[in-house]
């Protein structure tokens, strides 16, 4: 399976990137072909439409990102939680789905890896948004991790979130029990 991991954090090392690295390790060990797209280092141009509500193509970098999306079987959203939602870098990546909405629909898995300081309530809007994206795109939810009370790597390591991310990658595409 081809897997695209989208990194939405500007922090290195950061908590969502650390979860993504554990996921990638598990996915690669399971034999999946993983590509990482760093939306912070390679920003995606904001979505614009013309007078007829047609998407105006993004720059060369954005077109490369869209080609990666078309070729993948699973999309992993790795983002910190900012004000109850995904980072701006991740939101730009999601908004660009509009450029090829129907071409991207169906036959993909989705995974969410999110981190923040706080309890589960803080993640509710993000998880709802993630599920709405999957529903609209007709993608299968392969699982998600909301790493609570983990706004730095040291705190993240005090929990089992890194192991959870590894296992999620290792068992990607298997039935969820």
Q: Name 145's bridge partners.
A: 113
Question: Does residue 36 sit within a domain?
Answer: yes
Question: Does residue 176 sit within a domain?
Answer: no
Task: Give the angle subtended at the CA of 41 by the CAs of 155 and 87, to the nearest 5°.
Answer: 55
* Length of the chain as a residue count: 177
Cα separation, 107 vs 91, whole angstroms: 22
CA-derived radius of gyration, the chain: 15
pLDDT for 13 equals 83
- What is the domain range of residue 89? 2-170
User: What averages of pLDDT result for each successive group of 10 residues across the chain (177 residues)?
Assistant: 96 91 98 97 90 90 94 97 94 93 94 93 96 97 94 88 97 78
Name the residue among 26, 37, 138 with its Cα closest to residue 79. 37
**pTM as predicted:** 0.94
Pairing of strands 109-115, 33-38: unpaired
CATH code of the domain in which 93 resides: 3.40.50.360
Question: Does residue 81 sit within a domain?
Answer: yes
**Number of domains present in the structure of the chain:** 1
pLDDT for 177 equals 56
pLDDT for 176 equals 63
Question: Does residue 175 sit within a domain?
Answer: no
């Amino acid at each position: 399976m081809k897997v695209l991991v989208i990194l939405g954090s500007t922090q290195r090392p950061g908590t969502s990137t650390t979860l993504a690295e554990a996921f990638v390790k598990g996915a690669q060990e399971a034999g999946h072909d993983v590509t990482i797209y760093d939306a912070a280092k390679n920003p995606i141009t904001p979505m614009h439409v013309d007078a007829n509500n047609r998407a105006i193509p993004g720059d060369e970098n954005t077109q490369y990102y869209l080609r990666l999306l078309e070729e993948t079987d699973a999309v992993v959203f790795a983002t910190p939680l900012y004000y109850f939602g995904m980072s701006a870098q991740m939101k730009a990546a999601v908004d660009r789905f509009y450029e090829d909405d129907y071409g991207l629909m169906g036959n993909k898995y989705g995974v969410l890896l999110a981190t923040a300081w706080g309890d589960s309530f803080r993640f509710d809007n993000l998880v709802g948004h993630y599920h709405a994206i999957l529903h609209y795109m007709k993608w299968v939810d392969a699982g998600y991790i909301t790493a609570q009370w983990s706004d730095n790597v040291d705190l993240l390591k005090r929990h089992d979130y890194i192991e959870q991310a590894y296992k999620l990658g290792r068992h990607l595409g298997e039935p969820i029990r």
